[in-house]
Structure 1
Amino acid sequence: MNPLLHLGCTLDEVDPPRWPAPGADATRLVRTVHALRHSKLGDLRPGDLRMLVAQRVALHCTLPLAALLLLEEPLLEATFYPGDLLLTAAGAPESGWAPIPDLRTRLSAVIAALPDAGIAELPQGSAEELARFGGRSATQP
């Protein structure tokens, strides 16, 4: 499924079945993720995508949208720090990337071209995470 063709739809519409309402004792994270499933794909902000990808929600929709943002601005600050969306996407399971190998290849090339100074600003262990994704040499910072 190409999420760009469904920007006016919600995750509940394109990723059935619809989720029931969260329980009364649900955490803030659970309530937020449930609420985001009612947002139109085109309305999801970078921070929303970071949260949904991190929680492995509808990766066939959320991961391509995140990747497209990252192709334009790889060190985008979604919520916490510059590059947080990139590290979240790079840490997504292979099963999430399997349907979109072209986006993975393009994002790997973008990561490989990042300046060492940009990588050095990321949290400890980020260079290794990006190397596992396939975009950089493990010897780079």
Structure 2
Amino acid sequence: MKVGARKETNVSNGQRKPDRTLEELDGQRWGEPPADATSLVRSVHGLRRRPVASLNAGELARLIRQGVGVRWLLPVALGILEDTAPNQAAGGFYDDDLLSAVLTCGSTTWAAQPELVKRMQEVLASLRDISPYLCDDVERFQRDTRRGR
């Protein structure tokens, strides 16, 4: 490894999870949240300073729902869903909060990253039992991404 090069960690589906923080990836330092900030704001500020590779599904969902770092987090979130969704039919667990956050990114996000649309469609195809609470999100994703073709 070259001096100063950033190490990355592999995940099981072959995707790369950067060991860099969102602050390093986007080049923006937000500083400390205001003293009267909500717990959500404090949490998002703190999560931006953690390496992306260390974020769990719930933390990824929180950031994605807030529209923070989606460019870097969406591929990581899809990697988690790709790893866990196929096991659902056998009684395995996938994170439906993460699925919901990813599905609701919005049509402009998906239009800008068509390779991720295919991955999301494959995740959805592998699920056998989608929560009724997510059906509207799934339908909206499918409708929005069909328009973008």
Query: TM-score normalized by structure 2?
Result: 0.73
Match for 1:13 among 19, 24, 27? 24
SS of the aligned residue for 2:109 comes to helix
Match for 2:124 among 90, 111, 115? 111
More strand by share: 2
Given that 1:64 and 1:100 are in contact with CA atoms closer than 8 Å, whether structure 2 keeps it comes out as: no
- Gaps of at least 5 residues in structure 2 are 1-7, 9-14, 86-92, 144-149
Given that 1:50 and 1:85 are in contact with CA atoms closer than 8 Å, whether structure 2 keeps it comes out as: yes
Counterpart Cα distance in 1 of 2:69 and 2:108: 11
More helix by share: 2
Which residue is equivalent to 2:94? 76
Q: Root-mean-square deviation (CA), in Å?
A: 2.1
Q: Of the two, which has the highest radius of gyration?
A: 2
Identity of aligned residues (%): 35
Match for 2:43 among 8, 32, 43? 32
- Gaps of at least 5 residues in structure 1 are 78-82, 136-141
Which residue is equivalent to 2:142? 134
Q: Deviations over 1:63-92 (max 9, x none)?
A: 111111111223623xxxxx1111110001
SS of the aligned residue for 1:134 comes to helix
Query: TM-score normalized by structure 1?
Result: 0.77
User: Which letter maps to 1:98?
Assistant: A
